[in-house]
Amino acid sequence: MKAKTIKNAVEAHGWVGVILSVPLFIVFWAGALTLFFPEVSLWSNLPLRSVEASVQDSPPPSLSSLVEAQLRTVDADTTKKPIFLSLPGAHSPFVELSVPIVEDLEEEGRAEFLVDPQTGETISRGHPFELASFLYALHYNLKLPQGAYIVGLITLFFLVLLMTGLVIQLKNLLNHFFLYRHDKGQRMRAYDIHTVAGVVTGPFALMYALTGLMFNLNVLFYFPALKVVYEDDQVALMKDAGFPRLQVEPAGVAAEMPALEPLIARVEAVHEAEVSALSFMAFGDENAVIRFSGMKDGFGKRLDVRYEVASQSFPEALNAGSETAFSGIVMPLFMAHMGQFGGPGVRFLLFLLAWGVCGLILAGNVLWLVKREKQLSSYPWSHGLVRGLTLGACTGTIVATAAAFVFERSLPASLEGRVWMVQFMFGLVLLASTLTGFAVTSVRRFLAWSAISTAGLLAWVFLWDLYVHGRSIVVLWQAGETASGAVTLGLLVGAAFFAWLGSRILALGADQARTKAGFSTGATQTSP
């Protein structure tokens, strides 16, 4: 490969990397945590749990009666939009119900309920604990308007970063595989960490980049295919894709809805699957259709079965075309993206790899800053800006996440606007960290104190859990529901890790100061 090609690749890799580092870091960081969405969701909901209720043996009310009871409390409009019902399971102990209501400004036209499946009692109107959903939203749209497309574009350039990285390292890939020179200077070590992390996480990052693009930028190929190949026939396109659309026109004639439990049992037995959600189109109408969703046994096989109330059957016309070559390949890729295979062990492995990519981004930033130290030394303001926007915001994301956990746990469940407050505090801490990153003179101290602050916040949440929810966690753990306890333990491990990391960075700085080989990236820096 020509030297000019590699030089161009290095230049592009550096600039694209530093420009994208912050959103990319947030996407990967939030994505890593989203791998444990069900556990974090269960952990968040702990204050709503009644430990006594979870062990009682009273017969639960039927699902149909739960839906009908909630429909009576709102001005529901089930003619155009479906009712969604999420069954208690891995992510929530409650029945979650989303009912379309007559259009007004409230809740975007939907009313949400959390219902106790044992008693039928409405636990909450709306979702007071949304930390897991917030982290998930950060992962796929950064909580920005049109964020899904922005994240798609970022993912496209992430794929370009992987490709330019490959161009740069192609020659050294075999000779210097896993090379790490611990005895070299700061720049070489940052370079080696960046390269090793890139090699280790490379295949995983490629899978994530491609599947992320498929999630967020599928519109790019959807429209050309629709216009040219399918001649505007949306129904045919979606059928070929394996996601056939279903339009149900209500007849305007009331009909009794069937008992859902026997239907769920039948679907699960026939399809060897687990039903996790139901949706009702034209609920209570003669033309009503009930859709059963979930996962089948085996990797990446989704369940999508439709039941016609009028004929009391699963007619072929409604159920054909949900398994095509497209969905057969795309669905397993999506499952791989979300780590929904192989259990918690695989998710933990993916979590570590996602952290590896976060480390890759941070090391890349350090490398970029160290490399341009001399060039930028005459422009301290520019240097500070880049440092604040890269290191400040990246490490700030970690501290802000810990702060979000603190507020998620400590704000009262009944507090109006608590969901917004948790998100606001996340943003505020992130902003504060970015501004601090701009002003600091020692990057090393900044990184160390960010890690120690994160440790302190996580330890605080752990102690809160221990004293306030300790009994609930133990009772649930003994009943076999280990998710909440596992998150609490995870917070303790996280606190210990960040405390170790922070103290280690400080100790390294002290060592290097003694040997006059300080870590210096700031033009105005006097000591590490």
Partner 1 sequence: MWTRTLVGLVLGLLLSFSFALNLMLVVPVPRPVGMVVAFIGGFLVLAGVQTWAYCAPEFPRLLRWVVLTLGITFGLNAWAYLGSMS
Residues in contact with partner 1 by the rule CB under 8 A: 2, 4-6, 8-9, 11-12, 15-16, 156-157, 159-160, 163-164, 167, 209-210, 213-214, 217-218, 220-221, 224-225, 228-229, 240-242, 324-327, 329-330
Q: Which of residues 1 and 474 has its CB atom nearest to partner 1 in the complex?
A: 1
CB contact at 8 A, 528 and 513: yes
Smallest separation, CB 358 to partner 1 (Å): 21
Smallest separation, CB 359 to partner 1 (Å): 23
Q: CB-based burial of residue 468 (10 Å sphere; 0-12 exposed, 13-18 middle, 19+ buried)? A: middle
Question: b vs e for 220-238, b when ≥16 Cβ sit within 10 Å of the residue's Cβ?
Answer: eeeeeebeeebeeeeeebb
Q: Which of residues 165 and 294 has its CB atom nearest to partner 1 in the complex?
A: 165
Q: In what order do the strands lie in the sheet with 273-281?
A: 122-125, 110-115, 95-100, 83-86, 273-281, 289-296, 302-308
Smallest separation, CB 333 to partner 1 (Å): 8
Q: Which of residues 156 and 492 has its CB atom nearest to partner 1 in the complex?
A: 156
Smallest separation, CB 28 to partner 1 (Å): 18
Q: Helix H segments across 121-146?
A: 131-141
Q: Which of residues 240 and 408 has its CB atom nearest to partner 1 in the complex?
A: 240
**DSSP letter string over 469-490?**
SHHHHHHHHHTT--HHHHHHHH
Here the contacts of 95-100 (C-beta below 8 Å, separation 24 or greater) are 95/63, 95/66, 96/127, 97/66, 97/67, 97/70, 99/70, 99/71, 99/74, 100/76
Smallest separation, CB 234 to partner 1 (Å): 14
Q: Which of residues 188 and 236 has its CB atom nearest to partner 1 in the complex?
A: 236
Cα 317 to Cα 326: distance, rounded to the nearest angstrom? 20
Judged by DSSP in three states, 250 sits in: coil
Smallest separation, CB 185 to partner 1 (Å): 28
Q: Which of residues 8 and 64 has its CB atom nearest to partner 1 in the complex?
A: 8
Smallest separation, CB 20 to partner 1 (Å): 12
Smallest separation, CB 167 to partner 1 (Å): 6
Cα 127 to Cα 109: distance, rounded to the nearest angstrom? 15
Q: Which of residues 3 and 174 has its CB atom nearest to partner 1 in the complex?
A: 3
Cα 431 to Cα 20: distance, rounded to the nearest angstrom? 17
Q: Which of residues 159 and 463 has its CB atom nearest to partner 1 in the complex?
A: 159
Q: Which of residues 184 and 227 has its CB atom nearest to partner 1 in the complex?
A: 227
Distance of alpha carbon 156 from the chain centroid: 18
DSSP state of 59: P
Q: Could you tell me which of 492, 513, 389, 493 has the C-alpha nearest to residue 25?
A: 389
Smallest separation, CB 227 to partner 1 (Å): 10
